[in-house]
Amino acid sequence: MSSIGRRGALAALLAMVLAPLGAQQSIPIQNGAPVPPPGLPVPPLPNEPIVYPTAEGMDIRVSVVARGLENPWSLAFLPNGDMLVTERNAGRLRLIRDGALVPAPVAGVPEVRGVGLSGLMDVVLHPRFDETRFVYLSYNKPFGEQAGLAVARGRWNGQALTDVRDIFETRDAGSISRLAFGADGMLYVTTFGGTGDAAQDPSSLAGKVLRLRDDGSVPPDNPFVGRSGYRPEIFTMGHRSPLGLALHPASGQLWEVEMGPNGGDELNVLRPGANYGWPVVSYGRTYPGPWQSEKGSTHEGFEAPLVYWMPSISTSGLAFYTGNRLPKWKGDVFVGGMRYGEIPGTGRLERVLFNENMEELRRESLLVDLRQRIRDVRQGPDELLYLVTDHATDGAVLRIEPAN
């Protein structure tokens, strides 16, 4: 073949290779992320219970406990089975009593700045609630024109919160926060890592899990107490968007679930002083498409996740099932998902089965056809599972029970 012929063949080959690249759509980028598609329509929740088969051969029934909530974010069970539910942007605490939503919000909640994904977030009870009557709230607190993260504590009198005061506040972190009490009786508080390098900055509280006493003071045995350049409240660091926090019933360790960017959601076991790598390492891509980490898929030098999701399910909420009423699920981990693969209207509940060494064996996506944004999942005192669906006009609390 002549040199002219070879050049022509090469040009034709290049044209074939490059043609698909030129055929790709140009996706508009807004605020550093692709503009999302319309997604799938979310059908209204049914009035009657729905029965589902599940992978383990156990049929379940799903029913609506309460509806008409405005962006509900979390729930906590009172000893008598009543529920406290937070409404994020409205900054309201609601009471579900005897299976019905009380029309009036609970009084005593501090002023909340509800904007975007920030507002009134988690609600937990003190581990000695029968003695103390303490309820804890994490929320986005206004500081003039700015806002930051605060944790408030008040006493429950059966109708309202009294003696409410902030036991912790910072302008250094905000937006989202989960709360959980550990087996040691300490209060653990997650903070948003977001963009930038704050999650790796030991002098910043952003992108961390904090460990506090129940009055908000710093325990002297925190891993970084007395270490120069480190905030003493820090328990772990290197987190992006920690939206689930739960105590493992057997080991007493805290587990945490956090949302990655475009993929790379993580389920982590928290170890004192550990660094989980954000934004240096991640299994996810950045929202525009390139991989987040220049280190590839390795987590060398950082704590690796126990489980990760790719594509992302937009994780939020975490619970261990320890009851007997859903026996095929005993010991399993449940994680809420708000959307799958960056497509709105694809929320679900994820179940993960582990072996005795806490190694993942299989996972199952549940309630996919409901398309609800599952913001939180909790086990109730009745040994059933309860979900919070994060929707602006018809958020709800759902119950999962055995079908028979």
Alpha-carbon span 276 to 253, nearest angstrom: 16
- Say if 209 falls within a structural domain: yes
CA atoms within 13 A on the CB side of 130: 2
Structure tokens at 283: 């299994």
What is the reported pLDDT for 13?
58
What is the reported pLDDT for 2?
57
Taking 80 as the threshold, does the pLDDT of residue 175 lie above it?
A: no
Give strand ranges (E) for 24-133. Answer: 29-30, 33-34, 50-52, 60-69, 72-77, 83-87, 92-97, 100-101, 120-125
Alpha-carbon span 261 to 367, nearest angstrom: 24
Q: Which of 99-127 are b and which e, b meaning 16 or more Cβ less than 10 Å from the residue's Cβ?
A: eebeeeebebbbebbbeebbbbbbbbbbb
150 exposure class (CB count in 10 Å sphere: 0-12, 13-18, 19+): buried
- Say if 367 falls within a structural domain: yes
- Say if 14 falls within a structural domain: no
CATH number, domain with residue 155: 2.120.10.30
pLDDT in tens, 330-371: 999 999 999 999 999 999 999 999 999 999 999 999 999 999
What is the reported pLDDT for 290?
85
Q: What is the pTM of this model?
A: 0.93
What is the reported pLDDT for 3?
54
- Say if 374 falls within a structural domain: yes
- As a whole number, mean pLDDT of residues 111-133 equals 96
pLDDT > 70: what percent of the chain?
94
- As a whole number, mean pLDDT of residues 6-18 equals 56
Residues of the domain holding 67: 49-402
52 pLDDT band, cuts 50/70/90, is very high
Q: With H, G, I as helix, E, B as strand and everything else as coil, classify residue 327.
A: helix
**Which DSSP letter does residue 368 get?**
G
- What is the number of structural domains in the chain? 1
Structure tokens at 49: 């219970």
- Say if 329 falls within a structural domain: yes
3-state helix, strand, coil in the chain (%, to 5): 10, 40, 50
